[in-house]
Structure 1
Amino acid sequence: MKGGEGIISEIKSKILIIDGNTIEWFNKIFDPIPVSMILVDKETRILMINDQFCNFLEVTKEEAIGKYVIEINPNSRFPLVMKTKKAEIAWKHTFANGHTAIVHRIPILNDDDDVLYGFGMVLFDNIEEFQNIIVKNKLLQTEIKHYKQILKQIQGAQFSWDNIIGKSKKMAQAKEFGRKASKTGSTVLITGESGTGKELFANAIHNDSKRSHHPFVKVNCGAIPQDLLESELFGYEEGAFTGAKKGGKIGKFQLAHQGSIFLDEIGDMPMKMQVKLLRVLQEKEIERVGATNPVKIDVRIIAATNKNLKQLVDEGDFREDLYYRLNVMSLEVPPLRDRLEDIEILTNNLIEKLSNKLGLYVKRISKEAVDILKGYSWPGNVRELENVLERAMNLVEEGEILAMHLPQYLFRRESVVAKSGPIQKLSDLVEEVEREAIVKVLRLNKGNKLKTSEQLGISRSSLYDKMEKYKINV
């Protein structure tokens, strides 16, 4: 559909002087067109009206030609348009016969800005049809958006900085460094223990970079057999080996062209492939298996490992030159035991995520349960925490995770105290464990004091004394 100024310009270039010959010429052109059109003079008398418009207004040409437009359509806004000299484009208008349509009304001006004529046309003479087109257009836009999201999930990064939960100092520093790394084009090496969220950081770095609208391709270097890794990364030509796909295959690096490739578990890459990866970093080109000519690529490498690459270099299991090529921007994701202050916010976030996944309604977690989570060292990091919470949520009956729903091994106090926590007095540790044991058994017995005292092997009065001492209210 042309804009108002485009239509005005086109009509103005063609209409200078209206005479009988011009009107006849107009009729020959516009009558066969199935779009309602009208031309009026500066006094709004009808000079030309095509058959389509006559049928729409339910008049004949003889009845319309020479009359003022308001005589044919009392609701016409042409007098106002001619007075203001301003076009009305795609206006909703209800005609005197009750028909509602979408119309253009355009004043034709000369070089001195005087009104010469007025041109009108009906874009949609059926408002329901117009509304249907709008609805279909919205549906089409929704479908396009949906398929764009699917495409992004298939070949793009799914997570951003908002998906990395934590407000601790160490996590804030890691995210800030990651944001800075995303603004560069340099190779990034993400290190950290298993389950800390290295892949989340890789996704966020890509999504926050200039390459965000291009593919994000993930490769787990430790999960692909050594004899297949080269063809997976670089692709192969037809007939390169027995069983090779007809027409060959594009490798992950070519799929990631102009985007990023995430090489997870880079420490598990075989030495033979390390040599080829080094060439990719140096020459910016790959060579398919069975090919004779290299292919230029533009790919940013984001690598991750839970191993100490420097130690692997010293042991001769990782190339030193490749290590320094990868270690341009090095980002360490802190383990969960070093940011225990994030436990509560992480837990609430994971509960919401798991509730949607499992279809369970769990609204909160008790303070006692959170305290137990904070007292554990989490060797499996966030991944282990998620597994613990999923188990607990499947045991919940009244929408709240309690200490009794947590696995027994969390109640052992060895890890945080032994590995990273402050040294505590033995008496304080005993009281802490004693309090947790009482709370746990009370909840298991739904507050029954007699049963609890019997199971704990203490008198009922001793139980009351300890509940008062530790301010336990169950």
Structure 2
Amino acid sequence: MEDLKNEVFIEILDGILENPYIGIILVDTLGRISKVNKTYLEILGLKEEDVLNKHILEVTPHSRLPEVLRTRGVHLADYWPVNGHDTIVFRMPLYKDEKLIGAMGQSLVLGAAGAKILSKKLKELERELTVYKDVVSCIYSSKYCFNNIVGEDETIRNVKSIAQRASNTGSTVLIMGESGTGKELFANAIHQASPRKDRPFVRVNCAALPDNLLESELFGYEEGAFTGARKGGKLGKFEIANHGTIFLDEIGDMPLAMQAKLLIVLQEREVERVGGTKPIRVDVQVIAATNRNLEEMMKKGTFREDLYYRLNVVTLNVPSLRKRPRDIYLLINYLLPKLNQRLHTQVENVSEEALQLLCSYDWPGNVRELENLLERAINLADLNQDSCLTPEFFPSLSRTVLRPVPSIEPISVKSVDNLGEAVGKLEEETIRRVLQNTYNNKAQTAKILGLNKSVLYRKLRKYNLISDY
């Protein structure tokens, strides 16, 4: 049976080589001609013995096959006059077992008018394809970069540092953190800082898709794969993200059956469409995110252990907002101008009392909740024709039991240029006050402030507080 298949293949190949309208020439990796058909010899006006084993540039000095060997690029539909003949040329590298073995040129022989018409049509198709690629790039693009991740707390700076390194390596990244901490922001920033930034960034919400649609959404499907399948089939998100990044949000909500299929994709870097019979190679950086405890899920058998370790190459634990309260001031200054611009308002200040309120809240919804509360407060202040946010514009927080915080100065958007100085002053006063309350007990001071002892000493030197105490 195998011999019969080989015979049929050879007959088909011989038929292609003897086609009177297609000239074919093959070169090895050094550019030496290893095969040429009769049609191409007639185009050249030469005999087989005149060209075999000679370098392609000796026979056709302007050939671009050496360029194909060097770049491994594919040249489609070049209008190429050869020895008085008008041809449309296709050039491509040749591989065997994923190893380059040479290059091939195919020349479609036409009359002058036919060649120009075909070339024009192909160029038009190429322009259309470019437009579609631009549309895909526009739809599937990252929105944020690392500059959009606001925070000076040591925990958030450490996470940013790890994420920036991961953007250069292309390793699989698992982002964990509570809802609203900015996991998607980190995924966008990693893609934007990576060599893949000009390629698609494709987000898939694993929790939003029904189980029966998730497989076809991720891997695509072939025509006729199921009732209602689109004619011509459909690309899956992995194929769309090829050479780019795929962001699997809410990975902890993926059903077990799909987890097994995803594991194969991560191991083999191949997808198989629903209803398909052959694997499709994909080159993507995978970023997954979840607000669930995957280790607990593994113990309960609701998340695959092998998938967890396959995803957990680079781990980012995004801290909650209550663990970095000093960043609340920075976030307010960052968010206020953005919200004013979007809402067409001019609320520029936050009163000291309102800041006390905001900084003493636990923020279960984290940065997302902070932004939503600020937007609601700005709307209320604007309706009241007030340019300063006061506690009355945060009615939901006013009813909450709050923890005590040190007194702080009001924040103004107009003074954002001196924000670093203001935050430093607040930090210095806070450390000074805690040192006084602990009678200069450094260990107790570090514990109260939630700092490592070495970090506290660094800050003491920074603010010249060691000599004072």
TM over 0.5: yes
**Residue in structure 2 matching 1:407, options 392, 395, 400:** 395
Counterpart residue type for residue 189 of structure 1 = L
Aligned ranges for residues 193-342 of structure 1 at < 5 Å? 193-342=178-327
The residue type equivalent to 2:353 in the other structure is E
- Conserved? CA contact 2:357–2:402, under 8 Å: no
Instruction: Verify the 8 A CA contact 1:259 1:298 in the aligned structure 2.
Output: yes
Aligned to 1:356: 341
**Alignment partner, residue 188 of structure 1:** 173
Per the TM alignment, residue 219 of structure 1 is displaced from its structure 2 partner at its CA by 0.2
Per-residue deviation, residues 157-192 of structure 1 (Å, max 9, x unmatched): 110001111111111111111111111121000000
Give the whole-Å Cα distance in 2 for the aligned partners of 1:201 and 1:150: 24
One-letter code aligned to 1:319: R
Radius of gyration: which is bigger? 1
Cα distance, 1:298–1:416 mapped onto 2, change above 3 Å:
farther
List 4+ stretches of structure 1 deviating above 4 A.
Answer: 146-153, 414-417
2 CA distance for matches of 1:345 and 1:189? 26
- Cα distance per residue 1:416-464 (max 9 Å; x no partner): 89xxxxxxxxxx9xxxxxxxxxxxxxxxxxxxxxxxxxxxxxxxxxxxx
| Contact 1:337–1:416 (CA under 8 A) maintained in structure 2 | no
Asked if the contact 2:179/2:366 (under 8 Å) is kept, the reply is: yes
Look up the equivalent residue of 2:176 and give its one-letter code. T
1:317 counterpart SS class: coil
Measure the CA separation in 1 of the matches of 2:356 and 2:319: 21
List gaps (5 residues or longer) in structure 1. Answer: 1-145, 418-427, 429-474
For the 8 Å contact 1:232–1:251, the answer to whether it is kept is yes
Gaps of 5+ in 2: 1-130, 406-436, 438-469
Partner of residue 141 from structure 2, selected from 156, 161, 172 = 156
TM-score, normalised with respect to structure 2: 0.56
Read off the aligned partner of 2:390 and give its amino acid letter. L
Could you tell me which residue of structure 2 aligns to residue 137 of structure 1? none
Cα distance, 1:344 vs structure 2: 1.0
> Secondary structure in 2 aligned to 1:217?
strand
Is the Cα–Cα contact under 8 Å of residues 238 and 282 in structure 2 kept in the other structure?
Answer: yes
Q: Tell me if the contact between 1:265 and 1:304 (Cα under 8 Å) persists in the aligned partners.
A: yes
Aligned partner of residue 181 in structure 1, secondary structure: helix
What secondary structure does 1:189 align onto?
strand
> Matched residues in 2 for 1:385 and 1:148: separation?
37
1:164 to 1:293, Cα distance in 2 relative to 1, 3 A: same
Number of matched pairs: 277
CA-to-aligned-CA distance 1:22-56 (integer Å, 9 cap, x gap): xxxxxxxxxxxxxxxxxxxxxxxxxxxxxxxxxxx
Change (3 A) 1:410 1:313: farther
